[in-house]
Amino acid sequence: MIRLCGFPVSNYYNKVKLVLLEKGLAFEEEYVGLSHTSPRLDASAARKIPFLDDDGFIITESQVICDYLEDAYPAVPLVPSVARARAACRELVAVTELYLELPARRLYPQAFFGGVVSEEVRTEAARELARGATALSRLARFAPFAMGEVLTLADCALAVHLPLVSMATRRVLGADVLADNAAIAPWLMQLAARPAFQRVATDRKAGEAAMAARRAARNT
């Protein structure tokens, strides 16, 4: 049995979950939090989530997990079969994660957790995010899917990352770094009609509510 380990508030967890759902694979979810004392987290090489446990084979890093799923369970492919198209699909995911999600992540403490990020961090993040937004416009087609006519791994990754990038930059930098890309909103709306994306959204909302309740209980 495939077990996806982590928690449904994580965008990287949800990227893998979308891939599992869209590939139609049977899997279980195992809640693994980031507590320093969690023995289950020891299974993850860098003590990060998500990680996958496929009958005792443990593998970490969302992109590596998705590549493993593609190799081990090819029946419903989510990466094109032609070498150049395969590379382009993975390039779009890499560019989005390196130059949009990761710099936006530096803003998350202020955007989502009540902290404050320094002017220096904001300036550095803004510079990198501008590079990412330009690269995204060059690489993503959103016609109707991220890579063109068929749904791919890129849709699963971008759909969990881009809304966070927009929200974090709007809240911390005062403007959505992706605002100029008019194709994103209709593409997201179209994906939201798919059962896999609906399930991930529902589970994420439940996870956020549970997290807020735990935080409130700690503060009383």
Site residues (vs ligand GSH, CB under 6 A):
10, 12, 34, 48-50, 61-63
Choose between 71 and 149: whose C-beta lies nearer to ligand GSH.
71
Choose between 14 and 152: whose C-beta lies nearer to ligand GSH.
14
Choose between 160 and 177: whose C-beta lies nearer to ligand GSH.
160
DSSP string, the chain: -EEEEE-TT-HHHHHHHHHHHHTT--EEEEE----TT-TGGGGSTTS-S-EEEETTEEEESHHHHHHHHHHH-TTS-SS-SSHHHHHHHHHHHHHHIIIIIHHHHTTHHHHHSS----HHHHHHHHHHHHHHHHHHHHH---SSBTTBSS--HHHHHHHHHHHHHHHHHHHHHSS-TTTT-TTHHHHHHHHTTSHHHHHHHHHHHHHHHHHHHHHHHHT-
The residue to which tokens 């994660």 are assigned = 97
Shortest separation between residue 44's beta carbon and ligand GSH, angstroms = 8
Choose between 64 and 179: whose C-beta lies nearer to ligand GSH.
64
Shortest separation between residue 182's beta carbon and ligand GSH, angstroms = 28
Shortest separation between residue 124's beta carbon and ligand GSH, angstroms = 18
Shortest separation between residue 30's beta carbon and ligand GSH, angstroms = 14
Shortest separation between residue 165's beta carbon and ligand GSH, angstroms = 14
Strand partners, 53: 3, 58
Task: Map residue 148 onto helix, strand or coil.
Answer: strand
The residue to which tokens 């891939």 are assigned = 19
Shortest separation between residue 56's beta carbon and ligand GSH, angstroms = 20
Choose between 62 and 152: whose C-beta lies nearer to ligand GSH.
62
Choose between 44 and 152: whose C-beta lies nearer to ligand GSH.
44
